Amino acid sequence: MKISYREALREALRDALASDPRVFLMGEDVGRYGGSYAVSKGLLEAFGPERVRDTPLSELGFVGAGVGAALGGMRPIVEVMTVNFSLLAMDQIVNGAAALRHMSGGQLHVPLVIRMATGAGRQLAAQHSHSFEGWYAHVPGLRVLAPATIADARGMLEPALACPDPVILFEHVRLYNLEGELGDDPSAWRCDIRSAAMRRAGDAVTIIAYGGGLLRALEAADQLAGEGIEAEVIDLRVLRPLDTPTLLGSVRKTHRAVVVDEGWKSGSLSAEIVARLMEGAFYDLDAPVGRVCSEEVPMPYALPLEEAALPQPGKIVAAVRTLLGKT
């Protein structure tokens, strides 16, 4: 069955609402409008306004309501229109949801799922286009997911709702229109929310990516294969907790690594990954770990500048060639 990333997310939401009366969806324009990216289109008509709730324009308020509902035994799914707007709710997420189980000695749980669009590539400028996944991956008490495939878009919500801790689900804006085949058998899309995934096998270099960066990493791997360089591509998909053993296992095989991260290089998730590779596989590396990140500027609006600011397949290929001494 051919399905888009957007439709896969919608089917996951539909299943969750149909299978558990405690589940409800809330956020700006999720109901009558069908969601800013049309993910929740048709769900209001199917489940009604008690289960699909439009909220006022206040991330601090409705994310806080989601935290309270989760503490009260519900299973809320809160949609934040874009990751930039989630900064308005950072106090509720970091000081509230992430900390309450630990502060209560395990007496309280916050089984909350927060969905948000992230990343650039659609000319939405600096207040709608950044990648703050690394900020949230820094916080103990949160589980942070970045589905980059249609199967993961379909399969990650169910285990996220079953998690006793708050889960942040990042949906990259460039992926919503992605289409592909997805089998009807649930085994085609069921997944855990603990493990990274190898998307392409290789022996010359490991390319580590997540979210919107995965497609560009795979495109770069295709280009490199044309040059006789077989790259292994690892999709992080779970940003907290990181699946360090999978990363180390790949690097011990290829002896080289490039990390692709749409966040800024300074203080980034890519820096944490490089540190873990150096700590766990230093003597297996034949070259320093490379990084391909966004340029250190607020994301531009103009398309040529936006494209120039982002990690592109050509930049990834160039980084691999440098590691292999082929520049």
Mean pLDDT score across all residues of the chain: 96
pLDDT value for 105: 96
Q: Is the pLDDT of residue 184 over 90?
A: no
Answer with the residue of higher pLDDT: 187 or 221. Answer: 221
Cβ neighbours for 43, distance < 8 A, ≥ 6 positions apart = 10, 13, 14, 17, 25, 30, 31, 34, 51, 52
Spatial separation of the C-alpha atoms in residues 74 and 143, rounded to whole Å = 18
Residue 97 has pLDDT above 80, yes or no: yes
The answer on pLDDT for 327 being more than 80 is: no
| Per-residue pLDDT tens over the stretch 197-220 | 999 999 999 999 999 999 999 999
What mean pLDDT is predicted for residues 257-265? 97
pLDDT above 90 for 145? yes
pLDDT value of position 51: 98
Q: Is the pLDDT of residue 284 over 80?
A: yes
Set 28, 59, 272, 306: catalytic member: 59
Is the pTM above the cut of 0.75?
yes
pLDDT digits (tens, 9 = 90+) for 23-55: 999 999 999 999 999 999 999 999 999 999 999
Q: Residue 186: is its pLDDT beyond 90?
A: no
Residues 214-240, mean pLDDT to the nearest whole number = 97
d(CA 281, CA 327): 25
Query: Could you read off the pLDDT of 55-76 as tens digits, one per residue?
Result: 999 999 999 999 999 999 999 9
Q: What is the mean pLDDT of residues 96-104?
A: 96
- Domains of the chain (ranges; CATH) run 2-188 (3.40.50.970), 197-323 (3.40.50.920)
27: closest CA among 49, 60, 53, 64?
A: 53
172: annotated active-site residue: no
Residue 167 has pLDDT above 80, yes or no: yes
Q: Report the pLDDT value the prediction gives residue 122, as an integer from 0 to 100.
A: 86
pLDDT value of position 192: 92
- Nearest-angstrom CA–CA distance, 295 and 87: 21
- Site of tokens 């189980």: 101
- Separation in Å, CA 46 to CA 25, 31, 43, 239: 12, 11, 5, 33
End-to-end CA distance of the chain: 43
| Catalytically annotated residue among 7, 128, 262, 306 | 128
* Whether residue 130 lies in the annotated active site: no
* Distance separating alpha carbons of residues 103 and 156, to the nearest angstrom: 27
**What is the per-residue pLDDT for 256?**
98
pLDDT at 228: 96
